[in-house]
Amino acid sequence: MADLTRDDVAHLAGLARIDLSDAELDRMVGELGVILESVATVQQAPIEGVEPMSHPMPIVNVTRPDVVRPSLAPEDALAGAPQAEQQRFSVPRILDED
Cβ-contact 10, 20 below 8 angstroms: yes
Q: How far apart are CA 10 and CA 27, in angstroms?
A: 12
pLDDT of residue 51: 87
- Pick from 12-21, 22-31, 59-68, 71-80: least confident: 59-68
Average pLDDT in the 3-21 region? Answer: 94
Whether the predicted pLDDT of 66 surpasses 60: yes
Q: How far apart are CA 11 and CA 4, in angstroms?
A: 11
pLDDT of residue 55: 87
Query: Measured on CA atoms in the order 72, 76, 81, 87, is the torsion positive or negative?
Result: positive
CB contact set of 81 (below 8 Å; sequence gap of 6+) = 89, 90
